[in-house]
């Protein structure tokens, strides 16, 4: 075992993944941020979707201090987090054909909007179908996934394709298959997953790029402020009132 503690090893692994993303995904992050800014400038709405733990980075950019007020969570009952019982039901629902279509048919998503679909493996039916159907509706789709899964796993969608195959822009999280970053002789399985850390960082990098792109065009980015600082609530009320027709988490 290395002299470094396991905590140090995990943090080093996460930092290395973030460095890879910074160095290898610069153009994709810039393109994704610009796409979101274009959507806002053109009057479109922003949505994020993820299932299971991939929902965490999606939730992290919704109603978030310092984030874009227009980012809405596209929620699918039963697959957002581990609040459904049993938790394994959420994993099963990710493999149900037709579920994404039913969700999109009853969602506010429309042509001209942008949707970020987050799926670590990108192989399950739900995220693949979500991206396919959204694009068919005229929605721009950004996929955030680990491209490596498409090289060493089998798709669970009837088409045999992956999330990455149905996106306008693909962001590669660089996460290894299986997610876990550490192995030691005394522990029988790999452990210490880093996907949430890295994927959340990518999402925030995209949000920052979008805000900057809007500002460069002379458009005030519709950002939220913390309600725990003086004036924060008044600021947020103004932003939410101005963009009320594009914010769905208040309804």
Residues 176 and 32: their CA atoms lie apart, in Å, by 22
Q: What per-residue confidence (pLDDT) applies to 1?
A: 47
- DSSP calls for 141-201: EEEEE-TTHHHHS---STT---GGGG-SEEEE--PPTT-EEE--TTSSS-EEE-HHHHHHH
**Predicted confidence (pLDDT) per residue in 211-233, tens digit:** 999 999 999 999 999 999 999 99
Is 147 part of any domain?
yes
* Dihedral over Cα of 227, 229, 231, 232: its sign: negative
Residues 49 and 115: their CA atoms lie apart, in Å, by 7
Q: Enter the tokens of residue 235.
A: 């600021």
**Predicted confidence (pLDDT) per residue in 92-126, tens digit:** 989 889 999 999 999 999 999 999 999 999 999 99
Give the total number of structural domains in the chain.
1
Q: Where are the beta strands (DSSP E) in 20-123?
A: 46-50, 71-73, 114-118
> Which of residues 128 and 77 earns the better pLDDT score?
128
The CATH number of the domain where 209 resides is what? 3.40.50.10490
Q: What per-residue confidence (pLDDT) applies to 22?
A: 98
Is 133 part of any domain?
yes
Domain that holds residue 167: 6-246
Is 139 part of any domain?
yes
**What's the gap between Cα 191 and its chain centre?**
23
Q: In whole numbers, what is the pLDDT of the chain averaged over residues?
A: 95
How much is the pTM? 0.95
């Amino acid at each position: 075992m290395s002299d470094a503690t396991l905590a140090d090893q995990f943090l080093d692994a996460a930092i290395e993944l973030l460095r890879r993303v910074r160095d290898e995904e610069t153009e994709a992050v810039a393109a994704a941020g610009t796409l979101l800014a274009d959507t806002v400038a053109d009057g479109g709405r922003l949505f994020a979707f993820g299932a299971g733990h991939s929902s965490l980075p999606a939730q992290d950019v919704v109603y978030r201090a310092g984030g874009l007020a227009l980012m809405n969570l596209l929620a699918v009952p039963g697959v957002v987090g581990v609040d459904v019982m049993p938790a394994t039901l959420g994993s099963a629902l990710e493999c149900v054909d037709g579920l994404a279509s039913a969700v999109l048919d009853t969602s506010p998503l429309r042509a001209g909007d942008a949707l970020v679909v987050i799926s670590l493996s990108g192989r399950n039916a739900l995220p693949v179908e979500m991206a396919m159907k959204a694009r068919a509706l005229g929605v721009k789709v950004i996929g955030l996934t680990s491209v490596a899964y498409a090289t060493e796993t089998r798709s669970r969608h009837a088409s045999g394709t992956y999330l990455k195959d149905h996106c306008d822009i693909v962001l590669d999280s660089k996460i290894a298959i299986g997610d876990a970053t550490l192995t030691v002789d005394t522990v029988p399985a790999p452990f210490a997953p880093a996907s949430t850390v890295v994927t959340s960082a990518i999402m925030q990098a995209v949000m920052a790029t979008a805000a900057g792109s809007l500002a460069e065009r002379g458009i005030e980015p519709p950002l939220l402020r913390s309600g725990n600082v003086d004036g924060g609530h008044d600021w947020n009320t103004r932003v939410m009132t101005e963009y009320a027709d594009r914010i769905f988490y208040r309804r």
